[in-house]
Structure 1
């Protein structure tokens, strides 16, 4: 293959790009998993499951440019043999990870058994049905290929590759179509600061309810474990070590005596326990307990993040009036100490510049989404009119320049990002409650997401290559290695060309807000969460605002009390908290119970700061009422009927009662029922009887003036 530039330059660039991809993957793993405590059997396969599909973003542009047999090329190119070896390693290792290694390891980590052999056997049993379905479909595919192709000498491998590609393409097109609309839409909506705050309020009740449900489910399981630990004889004596591990896992009752102690009555708790304790029951109990802990961890982290976002966004909204913005609740980081931003420049950055950049980026990505979707629709009918060809290919339908490689890499990266965004945001029930949590993602969730990413890498890569036309990608090594096998039969060829038109379905649903309507028609079995991003509504944002305001204010007072008590100040638990009446009852400090393994979440959720707050806009945080556009804040407080606010309600009731008790009724009200008196002008010279108010020197208008602060001898004061 002719080359003008030295091959060392291309090889060095490829090596550096792979190193950069590896570093990015490690940082992603560090964001979602604690690297020091995560076992190696998880980190190594998950790393390759992320790094190999990411390397395809680099390998496809190099393959497209290397297929250009032109001496004028100035792009990054590699020898044919090197590209073929790279594709073989990337594809077959990804195939093994997707269909064999990651599913087995995922069920292995999710098993409740203690011994590795028992965990492996349980994992194989859990995957037996999955493999039976896959092998059944494979046998049907082999029979179809034999009828249409005639023999298996060269088509067995191609059939397996084609079947895996078709299933991955079906999932990738749906997820990518939703993400191509959801990402620009989210960026445009994020640019509206006040609308962003309302959406945070609307989301708060759903997250808080799910957090409470997760806590209740965990408490029930912890109570069951506590009751199980009381059994000392019978079949339970055979599993004392296992039961003690469960007790240590729940941290009961020494560290959390107030949550389950006193334990539920024996008759109520033992009804959920079998008479004979077996290893299968203990494995199921361990698995359910781990799931409940991870669910509580997920919603606790989400609630903490939502509280912090609400405080920051409220401060940005209120800075519209003062033109000064100080985030007093931010943790002390290196950037916060060396930041050159002043309160005024920070206000300009967060209130004007960042929303403008978000709006501009949303417009650019919306244009990119239009280019990709229109290219998918035109590919079966008018392939030469696909807009993506005009942006990637140069003269002669070739990628002969480095900018064309960069644009193709960006397009493929955006398609992959849209797919992954939908994978993490769509709350379908088929995900089984899996979620990515910062620094605390469960092992089974990490394996599952890694397997989905590995499964979607090859279909997205091949789908992008087909957008450039037959005369371009037929010359690539990727087509000779994979594409020829996919186009082995007429059915797979038609599937590859016509199925991407299916992208109109998720695009139309995301543009028209159909998800909320579908959920109302089909019920909650289809979607696990009525997310506001899916149904397009804002929900009960007033209730969410009251909930966040109560939580933030209660957390701040608890932090103030804890810091004062830690410093041994005169403030004691029996003394009133500053800003509260001495008769008011204490309020909850955190939305979830404390546990030793959850200190990281509590540190995030306590968004209130114990330091003196210098920013007035941050102090007036989350008051209740309606938006005032000229002031850029929220006022007009309201009360809610939540039982947790009994302290404030009782304080307000006492004040109203004291005011009513000290109120003196007006004179005309006390004279009702004493009959009508004859006016002075009808009495002639007679002297009318006077009451005690007249005898005290009070004039006719004095009682009226007294209601407005006046006295018997002074003027009325307003």
Structure 2
């Protein structure tokens, strides 16, 4: 059976991932396997976020069925409430009237009061069957529980495989200076062995502690691994979320309040700073090329190093064309040094990074220059419009309607000349205050969702208010998760770690930074959704109300408080931890 809404979400996420990856990376210049791995990691992360609303509405429908119906087994006269394992079976059976006799007792002996009461209840159920059907209307985007569980299993374990094994190996592979594929794989495995040993040591410490508290089985070990990964992701999530919740509304309001002259001055500042960075990158590249030239001269003059010439040519092919053309010129250089393959490998790795940095700064510098020219033109046009009147020649850039307004309503010229500025201002004003409101609601809900006696989490109250209106539940969930994702992923796309990790637009991001972003997205997607389910009280460990059916996501990913020694204080220190970065 085709599930159109689910397929639509997956296809939309596919094109969104393709668009973003094409914006930041260059498909033709980068390794195909690395590009595919990063694409899958981004794609799975977006799917986790946007499929969750479908899981929520499907779960609400399943809960409605349980609360509205009682299954009575006519063979033994017992009442069986639907559990998580047979909800799909019941959904299919309840939709068919031919099997209705399986749920109603028609012949109950009058000697048993219990069975009489069951018969009365079943008759009442029949009388109110139409009301139950109207109450439990199947959502248009309903997806069966078994489909969602299999989908979550595939996405979750694939993401874990990517973020903990495949992407770290590819990350080391991309930075390796080795000259063959097998050598690169070998060096990346050796480098990641240190990484795995450190994490493995910490994992064993926590595992021994966990085994001392609870009986260790394969199932409990799996739950422990999921919980440990989610706990690490929650800490990372709240750091990034705290920064994004404040910075996004602040940037919108800043863009509304500041004028074009202020932005132009800020662009001049960025141009000066980037010009200095570009100069340093070019100087660093020149130093490395001088070292490469010395290697070339030494290998050419001394027969003992001729075996390194083929590897040296691989490095030279990556260098700028101007360097390759001038390579054979006679230049005096110091040849009093020892040369070996290891030094060539280190130089190759440094030159790869230096060329990428130099090219990135050149492109960014030219883009900032174009932005400054555009803002300077806008300011000049606004100043000229304040002192000059419009003539027919000036209206050539307007549409026919705008030209008619210029001819018949001269005062309208002020708005037409500034339409882009006005639209720009209105856009940032509306979204600035909207995002501010959303951020305040999220921060309040983060601090209050753990209060069970009186639910005061705004997210939970809104879900209760919407009740069984599936469309509005999905819309609210999707917008909320999208904003949480934007706040979190905004920080990922903005942070810059010593120029070593840096996501740059206009296809200027290197492979190492792309892989690092893919690892972060995979680690954050599941904790982000667990956090949202806690905000709306859809986690049975959070909500004070009984939850008959958990979401398929929760059944696979677990709860926020599975590990006891972490859950004792998790609802206190996590919100406080987030507030530090707000």
Q: TM-score higher than 0.5 here? A: yes
Aligned match of 1:251: 320
**Structure-2 residue corresponding to 1:314:** 376
Aligned partners of 2:445 and 2:330: how far apart in 1? 63
- 1:209 shift after superposition: 0.9
2:514 is matched with: 446
1:460 matches 2:528: yes
Using the TM superposition, give the Cα deviation of residue 473 of structure 1 relative to its aligned residue in structure 2, in angstroms.
10
Is 1:104 paired with 2:169? Answer: yes
Checking the alignment, whether the CA contact within 8 Å between 2:59 and 2:549 is kept in structure 1 is: no
Contact conserved, 2:24 with 2:507, CA < 8 A, in 1? yes
Partner of 2:343: 281
Match of 2:145 in 1: 80
CA distance in 1, matches of 2:548, 2:486: 23
Q: Deviations over 1:168-221 (max 9, x none)?
A: 111110111101111111111122233222222222222111111001000111
TM-score (norm 1): 0.62
Per the TM alignment, residue 117 of structure 1 is displaced from its structure 2 partner at its CA by 0.8
- Structure 1 residue 66: Cα displacement: 1.2
Residue 180 of structure 1, aligned match among 216, 232, 245: 245
After superposition, the C-alpha distances for 1:105-156 in whole angstroms (9 at most, x for unaligned) are 1111211111111000110111111111111111112112112213334211
What SS class does the counterpart of residue 76 from structure 1 fall into?
Answer: coil
Question: Of residues 179, 197, 204 in structure 2, which corresponds to 1:114?
Answer: 179
Structure 1 residue 245 displacement after superposition = 2.2
Alignment-derived partner of residue 22 in structure 2: 30
* In 1, Cα distance between equivalents of 2:222 and 2:304: 52
Q: What CA deviation, in whole Å up to 9, does each residue of 1:646-669 have, x standing for no partner?
A: xxxxxxxxxxxxxxxxxxxxxxxx
Deviation at 1:389, TM superposition (A): 2.1
Structure 1: distance between partners of 2:414 and 2:325: 46
For the pair 1:65 / 2:57, whether they are aligned, the reply is yes
For residues 254 and 90 of structure 1, do their structure 2 counterparts lie closer, same or farther at Cα, with a shift above 3 Å needed?
A: closer
Tell me how large the CA RMSD over aligned residues is. 2.7
Deviation at 1:479, TM superposition (A): 1.8
Whole-Å Cα distance in 1 between the matches of residues 263 and 248 of structure 2? 15
Q: Which has the higher contact order (CA 8 A, sep 6+)?
A: 2
Cα 1:284–1:179 shift into 2, 3 Å: same
CA shift digits 1:503-548 (9 cap, x unpaired): 11000xxxxxxxxxxxxxxxxxxxxxxxxxxxxxxxxxxxxxxxxx
> Are positions 1:504 and 2:573 aligned together?
no
Paired residues of 1:104 and 1:124 also in contact (CA < 8 A) = yes
What TM-score do you get using the length of structure 2 for normalisation?
0.76
Query: For the residues of structure 2 that align with 1:100 and 1:94, how far apart are their CA atoms?
Result: 10
Q: For residues 639-688 of structure 1, give each alpha carbon's deviation from its aligned partner in whole angstroms, at most 9, with x where no partner exists.
A: xxxxxxxxxxxxxxxxxxxxxxxxxxxxxxxxxxxxxxxxxxxxxxxxxx
Matched residues in 1 for 2:398 and 2:513: separation? 36
2:190 to 91, 113, 125: 125
| Deviation larger for 381-390 or 179-188 | 381-390
State the number of aligned residues: 477
Q: What secondary structure does 2:183 align onto?
A: helix
Which deviates the most, 209-218 or 437-446?
Answer: 437-446
CA–CA distance in 2 between the matches of 1:264 and 1:339? 67
Does structure 1 retain, via aligned residues, the 8 Å contact 2:501–2:512?
Answer: no
What do the CA deviations read for 1:572-611 (whole angstroms, capped 9, x no partner)?
A: xxxxxxxxxxxxxxxxxxxxxxxxxxxxxxxxxxxxxxxx
What displacement does 1:426 show?
Answer: 2.5
**Quick one: structure 1 residues 187 and 115, their matched pair in 2 at CA, closer, same or farther if it must change by over 3 Å?**
same
The structure that has the greater radius of gyration is 1
Contact 1:226 1:247 in 2 (8 A): no
SS of structure 2 residue aligned to 1:353 = helix
- Where in structure 2 are the equivalents of 1:51-62 lying within 5 Å? 51-62=43-54
Give the secondary structure class of the aligned counterpart of 1:404.
Answer: helix
Deviations 1:475-494 (A, max 9, x none): 2122222224x533322323
Report the counterpart of residue 50 of structure 1 in structure 2.
Answer: 42
What is the CA-CA distance between 1:75 and the residue it aligns to? 5.2
Deviations 1:209-258 (A, max 9, x none): 1111001000111111112111222443111111122222223556675x
Corresponding residue of 1:218: 285
For residue 448 of structure 2, the aligned residue among 378, 396, 404 is 378
1:495–1:81 CA distance, 2 compared to 1 (3 A)? farther
